[in-house]
């Protein structure tokens, strides 16, 4: 897998632009319930957490799917659902450890993030930079730097 969808929920402002653009590009309408990425928020506690697919190496949704509609591409690492094969039994939804897999009530099929063929639109339209799409090494490097800076700042003061 080349790029990874990294979400830094500390940067999320909870605008839900990602939900709007995601449902727009995939379903042609702006509707949170049809968005792949979802932002859970608690305004009083003051957090916003965007949740999308982490593309597990050993995805439970693939294991639990009784009709082979969920599959993981061993080359790209992309986990996808095939709408034509899906029977709408919702096992993937019940089993996903991150509550990412979602269900389209109107079509009766499960859906999930497909990383927009390598150009995730949620990333493009995220105004606060909370969602990034970059190679794992770069993302890790970034995180490491940020953590290091924090530790340095704490110990220096």
Partner 1 sequence: MNKQIMIDAAKCTGCGLCQVLCSLSKSHQFNPSLARIKIWREETRGVFIPLTCQQCVNPPCVNACLMNVISKDPITGVTVRKTENCIGCRACQIACPFEACSYDHLLNVVVNCDQCGGNPACVNICPFGALQYLPVNEALNTCRDAEAVRRANL
Partner 2 sequence: MRNIVIAGNGAAGNSAAEAIRRHNQEVKIVMVAKENLSAYSACALPDYLSGWVGREQLFIKQEADYARQSIETLWGRTINKIDTQQQCLVTDWEEVKYDQLILATGSRAIIPPVPGSDLVGNFVVKTLNDIEVIIQHQPQQVLVIGSGNIGIEVAEALHGIGCQVTVVELMDHIFPRLFDPEPASLIEKMLTEHGIRVFTGEKLLAISGKGIVQEAATDQRTIRCNTVIWAVGVKQNIEYAKAAGIKIGDMGGIQVNNRMRTNIENIYACGDCVESWDRLTGSKTLSLLWPNAKRQGEIAALNCLGNDIEYDGAISMVVEDIFGVTAVSMGMTSNDLGEGDIDILEEQGLNQFRRVLLRNDQIMGMQAVGVTSGLGAVMALMKNRTTLSEFRHIISDPDLRRKVPWYWPAARLLDDFTNCRQGE
Binding region for partner 2 (CB under 8 A)? 60, 63-68, 84-85, 91, 95
- 35 to each of 23, 57, 77, 89, 147, how far by Cα in Å? 4, 23, 21, 19, 31
Phi, psi of 54 (to 5 degrees): -95, 5
Residue 56 touches partner 1, criterion: CB under 8 A: no
Bridging pattern class, strands 3-7 and 47-51: unpaired
Interior/surface letters 38-57, b for 16+ CB within 10 angstroms, e for the rest: bbebeeeeeebebbbbbbbe
Residue span 62-91 as binding mask against partner 1, x where in contact by CB under 8 A, dash where not = ----xx------------------xxxxxx
Please report how close the Cβ of residue 83 comes to partner 2 at its closest, in angstroms: 11
Residue 98 touches partner 1, criterion: CB under 8 A: yes
Number of residues located near partner 1, criterion CB under 8 A: 29
Please report how close the Cβ of residue 114 comes to partner 1 at its closest, in angstroms: 19
- Residue 102 contacts which entry, partner 2, partner 1, none (Cβ below 5-8 A, type-dependent): partner 1
Select the span of 16-24, 102-110, 112-120, 125-133 touching partner 1 (CB under 8 A): 102-110
Rg of the chain over Cα atoms, rounded to whole angstroms, equals 17
Nearer CB in complex with partner 2: 55/70: 70
Measured between alpha carbons, how far is 70 from 82 in angstroms, rounded to an integer? 6
């Amino acid at each position: 897998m080349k790029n990874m969808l990294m979400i830094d929920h500390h940067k999320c402002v909870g605008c839900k632009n990602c939900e709007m653009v995601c449902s727009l590009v995939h379903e042609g309408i702006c509707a949170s319930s049809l968005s792949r990425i979802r932002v859970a928020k608690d305004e009083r506690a003051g957090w916003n957490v965007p949740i999308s697919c982490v593309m597990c190496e050993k995805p439970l949704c693939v294991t639990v799917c009784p009709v082979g509609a969920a599959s993981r591409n061993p080359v790209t690492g992309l986990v996808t659902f095939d709408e034509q094969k899906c029977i709408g039994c919702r096992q993937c939804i019940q089993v996903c450890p991150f509550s990412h897999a979602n269900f389209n009530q109107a079509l009766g099929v499960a859906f999930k993030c497909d990383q927009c063929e390598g150009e995730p639109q949620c990333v493009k339209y995220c105004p606060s930079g909370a969602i990034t799409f970059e190679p794992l090494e770069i993302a890790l490097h970034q995180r490491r730097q940020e953590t290091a800076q924090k530790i340095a700042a704490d110990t220096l003061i």
